[in-house]
Amino acid sequence: MDNTALIQEVTAKANTWLNGNYDPETKKEVQQMLDNPDKTNLIEAFYKDLEFGTGGLRGIMGAGTNRMNIYTVGAATQGLANYLKMQFPGLAQIKVAIGHDCRNNSRLFAETAAGIFSANGMKVYLFDDLRPTPEVSFAIRELGCQSGINITASHNPKIYNGYKAYWNDGGQLIPPHDEDVIKEVEKIKSIEEIKFNGDKSLIEIIGKEVDDKYIRAIKGITLSPESIKRNEDMKIVYTPIHGTGVRLIPTTMKEFGFKNIIHVPEQDVVSGDFPTVVSPNPEEPAAMNMAVKKAIETNADLALASDPDADRVGAAIKNDKGEFILVNGNQTAMMLTYYLVRRWKELGKIDGNEYIVKTIVTTEVIKEIAERNGVTCFDVYTGFKWIAATMREMEGKMNYVGGGEESYGYLPETFVRDKDAVSTCTMLAETAAWAKDNGMSLYDLLRNIYLEYGFSKEKGISIAEEGKEGAEKIKQMMAEFRSNPPKEIAGSPVVLIKDFNTLVAKDKKGVETKLDMPVTSDVLQFFTEDGSKVSIRPSGTEPKIKFYIEVRGEMKSLADYDAANQKAEAKVEAVKKSLGL
């Protein structure tokens, strides 16, 4: 389609908003886009409909069919409501829980959704103010809801907002519900089909009573209360990066027994503009700067940060020189898995019927920690919904110890079915207290894990390819890796290839075995003779292709750590070169 035709198409769509039953503020914004000689914003706002994907909605806020606004949120909610009625026809009262984060318009979108669900005859539990994503998952289970939503764009920039949909187990939608809800949302062709006039009698505001139950549940997962008591004055810096964690994380850590929680006052300010950071993502070092600075000033033991909806955690620990270093998501998951498995074992809670869950792109060290200690490890697709799906499947059959992914998400309990920064922060603090009780810092603990289970270094690389041409390029890259897979990577022969698009694994002799996964996914993995693992997948939410590199090494003593790290860094570079990155 040439630019003239495209402008005609988006102008026609914009005029339906201008002349339709939309609010004056929206119409004013649409008119400004139509009047502007530069049609860039008009095209971006109307060239397509904002897609309700398998994780819900996520997009830039503003007027238009390709934007987050009360009308796109409304269509998503009406579609979900229609699907709930189909799925629970005999239920006297369908119930949903609704939460939201700190972002601009989050409360408006949450109240809009509450009105629509209630207008469809559903009982709505709406949080009185911003809350962590995991608490919404908790509330769905606790209140016996059939579904729930959280208004959040996680760690995206401030211009974004989003809509996460959950099922009755508190986990995000998985097949067949995700695809079937999408179909119902796509059927909504006009705002006249959306029931905006809510029934206030069906909306119940919830708050502190759910907070108290949630905190009480988290307190119940402690494994080392004596260690906490002996190290109750341990200095822990915490920042919510302007987000929802400010409501519960300091309180929960204090309830756990930690008395010395040090705040970063500037970042305790709740704001959807995230004024002190470029990006509110604890995966990015810059987002941790103020917490690390405060930790240095106060000579703290540990610095923690949660993202705006408080499901991811970033951490900084002291090395053997007294300097603060950032730990990545793999290392956090490793330390938590090690601690949980070890304490379960010490407390006599492991009898061979326990399991952990990790994603296929997360470090293999976690699997070794589990299996060497008699704990089963399940590998699932990227995305915490697959960890939650495994928990649902194993409920009543096996005992869940913990689960996590390399992208800074972890869950050390079963009463939530999404990654949980609230419980993870408390459990990381408990791990630090236990390590201290055993004469170690968290840095010592990390090095001891490497010493016992083998050194590992991980590197994630994202290559952005914009637009239709970029999408084709990504598709071609995946096709090339499939048709001409590498025979060796960084000088080590490839001994196993897993293709999750065909669900077939092929070893170096060409012997094929079936991969046991619930659905197919566009992911390739290459395993080498020396223990390296390379995973390749197109991003599901951005125009990117992602490479996850893991190389293995050896440590004979704690003193070997720096040398092993340097050697691994060189090996990562060799892997990148082999892959043409």
pLDDT by residue (tens digit) across 271-329?
999 999 999 999 999 999 999 999 999 999 999 999 999 999 999 999 999 999 999 99
Contact 428, 302 (CB under 8 A): yes
Q: Which fold has domain 48-206?
A: Alpha-D-Glucose-1,6-Bisphosphate; Chain A, domain 3 (3.40.120)
Q: Name 443's Cβ contacts closer than 8 Å, sequence gap at least 6.
A: 317, 318, 319, 320, 325
Q: What is the model's pLDDT at position 131?
A: 97
In order of 236, 252, 253, 289, 410, the CA distances from 425 in angstroms are 10, 9, 8, 18, 10
- Rg, Å, the chain Cα set: 24
Within 8 A by CB and 6+ apart from 494, the residues are 485, 486, 487, 488, 508, 526, 527, 528, 529
Strands 409-411 and 488-489: unpaired
- How far apart (Å, rounded) are the C-alpha atoms in residues 300 and 188? 53
Strands 313-318, 302-306: pairing is: antiparallel
Identified catalytic residue from 147, 154, 306, 521: 154
Q: Answer yes or no: 154 catalytic.
A: yes
Quickly count: other Cβ atoms within 10 Å of residue 422's Cβ.
30
pLDDT of 541 reads 61
Identity of the amino acid at 114: A
The structure tokens listed for 557 are 């003593």
Look at residue 542 in the predicted model and tell me its pLDDT.
Answer: 67
Cα separation, 56 vs 63, whole angstroms:
19
Residues in the chain where the model's pLDDT stays below 70: 1-2, 467-468, 540-542
Contacts (Cβ under 8 Å, ≥6 apart) of 393: none
pLDDT given for residue 311 in this prediction: 96
Neighbours of 346 (CB within 10 A): 11
Architecture in CATH of 218-453: 3-Layer(aba) Sandwich (3.40)
Q: What is the CATH T-level fold of the domain 455-579, as seen in this structure?
A: TATA-Binding Protein (3.30.310)
- 249: buried, middle or exposed (CB in 10 Å: 19+, 13-18, 0-12)? buried
Q: Tell me the backbone φ, ψ of residue 499, rounded to 5 degrees.
A: -115, 105
Check if 218-453 and 455-579 are the same fold. Answer: no
Rounded Cα distance between 140 and 123, Å, is 12
**What pTM was estimated for this model as a whole?**
0.95
Domain boundaries, the chain: 48-206, 218-453, 455-579
